[in-house]
Amino acid sequence: MGELDGVRIGVTAERRADDLIGALLRHGAEVRHAPTITIVPLADDPELRRGTEAVLAAPIDLTAVTTGAGFRGWLDAAEGWGLRDALLDALAGSRIFARGPKAVGAVRGVGLREEYSAPGETNDELFGALTEAGVESARVAVQLHGSPLPEFTDPLAVSGASVLAVQPYRWHTPPDPEPVFSLIREVLAGELVALVFTSAPAATNFLALADESGRGAELRETLRSGTVVCACVGPVTAAPLETAGISTLQPERQRLGALVKLVVAKLS
């Protein structure tokens, strides 16, 4: 018998979903899996290649690494295009700013070294440090993850930077949204105890698909009531929900294992 026997939990992740679902199942939970986004394959992404070639067109002054997975994915895609070595050389000549330990691990894992790591693992800290470093007339490469960050990249451009944004793991709505619609119906019927989110795009598109189904307002009201726990891996993931007035549960460490432990502690 597990701590979560009989507890029904919705999982919205696509990437690393098997790890998350497996961990919850081991604790006895019943899992409903409905990925709210589909990731564009890296090697098939022409926008990522164009962005990479733009980065390589001239020396880079500053580099922002927002996620470890995104940074590694970028390099993997570059390797497929025969550009990995050139990209590593370009990044090595820049001042690298990372958003926390995962990004730092990815940077150091390929022999590079960061100048700055955001202590709270937030974009506010990361881009604030970049701005303080001086971006006027600088070429700044920004590795995004999942979605653009205009609230952070636009101010860099206003400050005089030439911003070169590359976005590994672009996403779009799943070709068949019915599993998500079914998950929404289960939430509204009181059949789910918790929802788990591991990325901001997944949270954003969950709400967008609820609107598309015609039940967005009803879903938001239900989630705001607190009858369903919305567990998020960290503040970036939680932001779309918090902005909608929905309270979230977050672990102190932004890790999948810590998230599972917190969910178990909360629901058992």
Higher pLDDT, 139 or 41: 139
Give pLDDT, residue 25. 94
State percent of the chain over pLDDT 70.
99
In this prediction, residues 245-253 reach a mean pLDDT of 95
**Number of independent structural domains in the chain:** 2
User: Above 70 in pLDDT, residue 159?
Assistant: yes
Query: Which domain does 59 fall in, by range?
Result: 42-171
Give pLDDT, residue 1. 56
Residues 52 and 122 in one domain: yes
Q: Which residues contact 91 (CB under 8 A, 6 or more apart)?
A: 60, 63, 112, 141
In this prediction, residues 208-233 reach a mean pLDDT of 97
User: Above 90 in pLDDT, residue 34?
Assistant: yes
Does a structural domain hold residue 3? no
Give pLDDT, residue 15. 78
Question: Which range is least confidently modeled, 1-10, 208-217, 256-265?
Answer: 1-10
User: Above 60 in pLDDT, residue 268?
Assistant: yes
Residues 116 and 50 in one domain: yes
Q: Which residues contact 120 (CB under 8 A, 6 or more apart)?
A: 100
Q: What is the Cα–Cα distance from 106 to 68, expressed in whole angstroms?
A: 5
Does a structural domain hold residue 2? no
Residues 103 and 184 in one domain: no
Residues 109 and 219 in one domain: no
Higher pLDDT, 245 or 120: 245
In 3-state terms, what secondary structure has residue 12? coil
In this prediction, residues 96-111 reach a mean pLDDT of 95
Most confident of 13-22, 32-41, 71-80, 168-177: 71-80
In 3-state terms, what secondary structure has residue 66? coil
Note the pLDDT tens digit of each residue in 43-62.
Answer: 778 899 999 999 999 999 99
Q: What is the Cα–Cα distance from 110 to 133, expressed in whole angstroms?
A: 24
User: Model-level pTM greater than 0.85?
Assistant: no
Nearest partner of 202 among 239, 167, 228, judged by Cα: 239
Residues 154 and 48 in one domain: yes
Confidence category of residue 31, pLDDT binned at 50, 70, 90: very high
Q: How far is CA 86 from CA 58, 93, 116, in A?
A: 11, 11, 23
Confidence category of residue 216, pLDDT binned at 50, 70, 90: very high
In this prediction, residues 202-228 reach a mean pLDDT of 97
Residues 100 and 155 in one domain: yes
What average pLDDT is seen over the chain? 94
In this prediction, residues 122-148 reach a mean pLDDT of 93
CATH number at residue 154: 3.40.50.10090
